[in-house]
Amino acid sequence: MNSPVLHIMSDEDVGQIRSGSLGILNDVGIVIHHELALRSLHEAGATVDQRRQQVRIPQKLVQECVKKAQGLTTLAGRCRGNDLRVQPGRTYTRCASGSIYLIDSETGTRRNANSADVEKFTRLQDALENLSLCGGSPYPSDVDQRMQDIYQIRIMLENTRKHIRFQPFSGQSLDYIIRLAAAVVGGEEELRKRPILSCITAPSSPLRYSREQVDIIIRCGKYGLPAMLGSTPTMGATGPVTLAGSLMLQNAEILAGIVLSQVMNPGAPLSYGPRMPTMDMRTGLSAWGAVEFGLAAATAVQVGQAYGLEIDTYGPSTDAKILDEQAAIERTFNAILPALAGANIINGAGVLESILSVSMEQLVIDNEMFGMLLRMLHGINVDEATLARDVIRTVGPGGNYLAHPHTGKHLRAEHFLPGLFDRKTRAAWEKAGGKNVVTASKERVTRILREHEVPPLDKDVTRQMESILEDAKKHAISSSK
């Protein structure tokens, strides 16, 4: 079990940001485009300007709602053996969610992802030992655009036993996705007990929640699905250019989401999801690989730790377009900083070019990096067994520990053994083909997809899922007329 070791800001600095966020909500307020939510917030004690749809939330209401929110929880898998109990002081990992492109393994070029890619990418996530849960990437482009999120989850439910964290397009599409998940676990009541999905929804910075975003929060609370509130102000564009200012804005937006959730569904499970890129003023683009991105993630973890919620933040993010040195350096910095700060979930595995694209080879490389990261966070065990006093006496001066039973007993717990990175001599490496890590990762992708099998769903379940998809198609067709 690891504890936070990186404190970039002082307690006084963190306190200023938290109190400043409360001041923003009380004095400036937040726009919420949802009539039912506005009425409910007014009844709960917020000040509502109906014409502007602007809500000012008093400090007392924020504090009450934070206390009601369900924090660290169990993220159930399709199979009970894959249930993930998020524990304080532990770090878990996942792929990013929401990408639309794939870097083709054969050509190395970027293209739109299709349903077959979603199936392969999901099976890879299921197989990789250092990924704790799955992220919903990528969306399939070979289906009706209005239903890409529904098809994505249908494919993922068939191809992983792990928990899935994804980003639905709307509350309406989430209804169909909930029906799919309920079919898999045996009904809506069982889904409430064992949520195999959790949703990502994000306010529109600065200080606005759309109708669709609020619908997702309400539906998640109604069905007991954890909702990750992923505020994403871009420093210098949709948030202040200063890290402290954007941290304060981001925290205010997440606190507003907590209030929304708890006013509508008290006790609903929530996740604190900060991610804060910078605006590169030379290009006008958001920089997800900037060192400030990792710095913002680590400091946001400090800010969020007071609220008792799971904290899910980006780690290995990059602006690189290919698997190169830029990708490696940016990903490493941005993963280590929030991990050392104590984030519960580090996400971003497998993504490139500011999370627009995914790569199967990058996913495999990130799995290796996560293994190293988790070993680092575990730290050093100091007890009688690891101090090895008796072993040192037995071996004595000039001896050798290689054959001693103590070495075999403790080797795997003490040392990370890479499955992808090379540690052979140059001669042995050359004899094995002299492969770089990208080539080695391609081979591992091929091997996993050839060998790894996920137990199929029951035929009755797949028939139910087909029926649900047909209903979704009919609705999509009728709503487009």
CA gap 166, 219 in Å, rounded: 14
Structure tokens at 218: 């309400």
Check which CATH number belongs to the domain holding 263 and give it: 3.20.20.480
Report the domain count for the chain. Answer: 2
Of 367, 398, 414, the position where a domain reaches its end is 414
CA gap 66, 267 in Å, rounded: 9
Structure tokens at 102: 């794939």
Contact 260, 229 (CB under 8 A): no
Alpha-helix residue ranges (DSSP H) falling in 90-242: 115-127, 148-159, 171-185, 188-193, 211-223
Q: Does 481 fall in a domain?
A: no
The predicted structure's pLDDT at residue 476: 76
Nearest to 349 by CA among 338, 360, 339, 341: 360
Under DSSP, is residue 268 helix (H, G, I), strand (E, B) or coil? Answer: coil
The predicted structure's pLDDT at residue 195: 96
Please report how many Cα atoms fall inside a 13 Å half-sphere around the Cα of residue 461, on the Cβ side. Answer: 16
Does residue 360 share a domain with residue 410? no
The predicted structure's pLDDT at residue 1: 46
Does residue 246 share a domain with residue 117? yes
Q: What are phi and psi of 349, to 5 degrees?
A: -60, 135
E strand or H helix at 324: none
Does residue 409 share a domain with residue 354? no
CA gap 150, 176 in Å, rounded: 7
CA gap 17, 23 in Å, rounded: 10
Does residue 228 share a domain with residue 116? yes
The predicted structure's pLDDT at residue 89: 86
Nearest to 292 by CA among 283, 301, 302, 279: 279
The predicted structure's pLDDT at residue 33: 97
Does residue 388 share a domain with residue 293? no
Nearest to 173 by CA among 142, 122, 139, 123: 139
Of 350, 378, 406, the position where a domain reaches its end is 378
Domain coverage including residue 252: 68-378
Q: Does 243 fall in a domain?
A: yes
The predicted structure's pLDDT at residue 479: 58
Q: Does 476 fall in a domain?
A: no
The predicted structure's pLDDT at residue 72: 81
Which parts of the chain have pLDDT scores under 70? 1-4, 477-481
Any idea which residue has 């990903």 for tokens? Answer: 331
Q: Tell me: the pLDDT tens digits for 160-205?
A: 999 999 999 999 999 999 999 999 999 999 999 999 999 999 999 9
Does residue 252 share a domain with residue 168? yes
Taking CA atoms, 348 is separated from 269, 279, 313, in Å, by 22, 19, 8
CA gap 251, 245 in Å, rounded: 10
CA gap 1, 378 in Å, rounded: 6
Does residue 335 share a domain with residue 198? yes
DSSP assignment of 9-49: S-HHHHHHHHHHHHHIIIII-EEE--HHHHHHHHHHT-EEE
Q: Does 359 fall in a domain?
A: yes
Does residue 294 share a domain with residue 205? yes
Q: Does 286 fall in a domain?
A: yes
CB count in 10 Å sphere of residue 426: 9
Q: Does 344 fall in a domain?
A: yes
Does residue 397 share a domain with residue 350? no
Contact 389, 396 (CB under 8 A): no
Q: Does 183 fall in a domain?
A: yes
Sequence length of the chain is 481
CA gap 275, 205 in Å, rounded: 12
CA gap 140, 269 in Å, rounded: 29
Any idea which residue has 């910075």 for tokens? Answer: 205
Check the CA dihedral 133-138-144-146 and report its sign: positive
Does residue 389 share a domain with residue 243? no
Does residue 405 share a domain with residue 373? no
Dihedral (C-alpha) 40, 42, 46, 52: value to the nearest 10 degrees?
100
Does residue 389 share a domain with residue 302? no
Nearest to 300 by CA among 335, 269, 258, 272: 272
Q: Residue 138: is the preceding peptide bond cis (ω within 30°)?
A: yes
Q: Does 425 fall in a domain?
A: no
Q: Write the CB contacts of 109 (distance below 8 Å, at least 6 apart in sequence).
A: 103
